[in-house]
Amino acid sequence: MDVKERRKFIAEQVATLGEVEFAQLAEICDVSEMTIRRDIETLEQAGALRRVVGGAIAVGGTAQEPPFQSRASIAAKEKEHIARAVVDLLSSGETVILDSGSTVLSVAREIRRRAITLTVITPSVLVALELSDCDAIDVHLLGGLLRPGELSLIGPDTVEQLNQFNCDTAVLGVAGVDLAGGISDYHRDEAYVKKAAIRAARRTIVAADHSKLGRSSLIKIAGLEEISVIVTDGSLLHPTLVEAQARGVSVTAVQPKEEVSP
């Protein structure tokens, strides 16, 4: 495809998926990442998208949530590294809330691989299935309204059940981590479940790949100061992470990405 066609394709991908990565686009378009970076710079100047570390997102950061399978395929290796770092923070015998979403599903897979003795509370059918035959893990699957595609439980019943638990740690996946917007999500009812998870746990670990940094999605879940730990593959120099640490949040950076020059 020529330059015009390629840039139209990139803009359409961002509009459809909500977020894209330089490396993934370079492979699809059979060009260098530098070429993709230049395309995205041009599209950003035209107001078609917004650059973030490692890729681009829809303007305003409030795009429709990409399908689960699409999110699971984006930054899959990075999510595995993040999952290992998250599980390093867990201790045998803890009661842990595992949120829904592709990053937290990676955390569940790492827990399964290590066979840590845990009690897991989850609104995610996929997480529950991942851990269902692990003898060392007691799994409590919350009830509620099932979201098709996500296979997560939402609604007042889910929130009410979470309110009954006293947990050590909540592990959350989010759509955005931002200075002003805090941690945020696309979906209102998912955000309510995440808020309840924070209330039910003594500490909150947010697992977020680099594309979520500096991004604010539709529904605010909590302020940065309400988070205990952020585990990410983003650069420690990212303004959001610098400010988070200033507010008392512990940040674990796994294979940090370099910031994109403006």
Q: What pLDDT digit, counting tens, does each position of 166-206 carry?
A: 999 999 999 899 988 899 998 889 999 999 999 999 999 99
For the cut 60, the answer to whether the pLDDT of residue 74 exceeds it is no
Residue 4 has pLDDT above 60, yes or no: yes
In this structure, are 54 and 155 located in the same domain?
no
- Residue scoring higher pLDDT (146 or 14): 146
What integer best gives the mean pLDDT of the chain? 88
Q: Report pLDDT for 173.
A: 95
Residue 258 lies in a domain: no
Both 101 and 49 in one domain: the answer is no
Note whether 92 and 200 are same-domain residues.
yes
Looking at the structure, tell me whether residues 58 and 95 fall in a common domain.
no
Query: The whole model's pTM is what?
Result: 0.73
Q: Which long-range contacts (CB under 8 A, 24 or more apart) does 158-162 make?
A: 158/123, 158/193, 158/196, 159/192, 159/193, 159/195, 159/196, 162/97, 162/121, 162/123, 162/193, 162/196, 162/197, 162/199, 162/200
Point out the domain boundary residue: 38, 64, 90. 64
Whole-number percent of the chain with pLDDT over 90: 64
Q: Which domain holds residue 203?
A: 69-253
Within a domain: residue 261? no
Q: How many domains does the chain have?
A: 2
Whether residue 183 is found in the same domain as residue 118: yes
Instruction: Clarify whether residues 198 and 107 are in a common domain.
Output: yes
